[in-house]
Amino acid sequence: MNTWIYARNLVIGLWVVFKRTFTKPVTVQYPEERPYLPPRWRGRIVLTRDPDGEERCVACYLCSAACPVDCIALQAADRPEAHDRRYPEFFRINFSRCIYCGMCEEACPTNAIQLIPDFEQSEYARRNLVYEKEDLLISGTGKYHNYNFYRVAGVRTCDKDKGQGANELPPVDVKSLMP
């Protein structure tokens, strides 16, 4: 009985091998050949800029709070010359801890932090996986081209007074009694 089962399994196994002999191999000749990764693939994290070229990050700490492995640390600072516009004084991601879950991107209210389809982050020393703001900040808008938080936020910025943002009325004249 056992002999019969062994023979049958052998034939099935050989048939699978025979069948594969005529199919196209899945192996890719990386790094000469590169796989296609969709834009929403979650790889290396970047900090983007808004369409005006300013840093999008407003240091709200939501990414660091959302991070399940606590690998994002930052400190908020403000620019007095730009109506106290908030920016991160430092922004550090410890990629040796990052699990590329994308929670930070989901939490980000300004589309500043984005995961991009780049996974080539191997290093010989773990300390090289600690990325500071200079390493993270790119000069473009990333995946979201038109969003500018400060256009819709109602706060004053250098190029926009109160009431000049999207969907805003001009500032109230308190002394007016008109209905």
Partner 1 sequence: MATIIVDNKSYSVDERQNLLVACLGHGLNVPYFCWHPAMGSVGACRQCAVKQFKDDKDQSGRLVMSCMTPATNGTRISIDDPEAKAFRASVIEWLMVNHPHDCPVCDEGGECHLQDMTVMTGHVYRRSRFPKRTHRNQALGPFIRHEMNRCIQCYRCVRFYRDYAGGRDLNVFGAHDALYFGREQDGTLENEFSGNLVEVCPTGVFTDKTFFHHYTRKWDLQSAQSICPHCSLGCNTTAGERSGTLRRITNRFNSQVNGYFLCDRGRFGYEYVNSDHRITRPLVRSGSDRIQPGMPEDVSKTLEFAADRLRKSRGIVGIGSPRASLEANVALRSLVGPQQFYQGVDEQEQQLLSTILNVLRDGPVLSASIRDAEQADAVLVLGPDLLNEAPRLALALLQSIRQQPMERVEELKIPQWDEAAVRNAVQNRRGPLFMAGHRQTWLHEYATDSYFAAPDDVARLGFAVAGSIGPEAPTVSDLSSDVRDLAQRIADALMQAQRPLVIAGTGSGSQATIEAAANVAWALHQQGKQSRLSFVLPEANSAGLALLGGGSLKDAFEKINQGKADTVIVLENDLFRRADHATVDAFLDKAHTVMVIDSLEHRTTAHADVLFPAATGPESNGTFVNQEGRAQRFYQVFVQNGDVKESWRWLSDLARATSQDGESGAGVATWRTFDDAVSATATTAPDLARMGEVAPSASFRLVGQKFPRQSERCSGRTSLLSHLTMHEPPPPVDQDSPLAFTMEGYRGPLPSPLISQFWAPAWNSIQALNTYQDEVGGPLRNEMPGVRLLEPVATNAPAWFTSIPPAFQPASRQWLLLPLSAVFGSDELSNRSPAIVERIAKPFLSLHPSDGARLSLENHSTIDLAWQGTMYSLAVHFESSTPVGTGGLSLVPEVFGVRMPAWIDLFETIKTEGKRRAA
Please give the residue ranges that form the binding site for partner 1 (CB under 8 A): 58-62, 64-65, 67, 69-78, 84, 86, 92-94, 96-97, 109-110, 126-127, 130, 132, 149, 152-156, 162-163, 165, 167-177, 179
Q: Which residue number, 101 or 130, has a Cβ lying nearer to partner 1? A: 130
| 13 versus 171: smaller Cβ distance to partner 1 | 171
CB closer to partner 1 out of 12 and 125:
125
* Shortest spacing between CB 147 and partner 1, in angstroms: 12
Q: How far is the CB of 74 from partner 1 (least distance, A)?
A: 8
Taking the complex as a whole, how short is the minimal distance between the CB of residue 108 and partner 1, in angstroms? 9
Residue type, 167: N
Q: Are 103 and 68 in contact (CB under 8 A)?
A: yes
Nearer to partner 1, 17 or 177 (CB): 177
Distances (CA, A) of 97 to 72, 75, 105, 130, 163: 9, 19, 16, 9, 43
Quote the least distance from Cβ 116 to partner 1, whole Å.
19
CA dist 103 and 162 (Å) reads 32
Name the residue nearer to partner 1 (CB basis): 19 or 127: 127
Under 8 Å between Cβ of 86 and 131? no
Cα–Cα separations (whole angstroms), residue 10 to 16, 121, 161: 10, 43, 79
The Cα 62–Cα 108 span in angstroms is 6
Q: How many CA atoms lie within 13 A of 174 on its CB side?
A: 0
Shortest CB 82 distance to partner 1, Å: 12
Nearer to partner 1, 116 or 160 (CB): 160
In angstroms, rounded to a whole number, what is the distance separating the alpha carbons of residues 95 and 148? 27
Show the CA angle centred on residue 84, arms to residues 81 and 85, nearest 5°: 100
The distance of closest approach from Cβ of residue 7 to partner 1 in the complex, given in angstroms and rounded to an integer, is 56
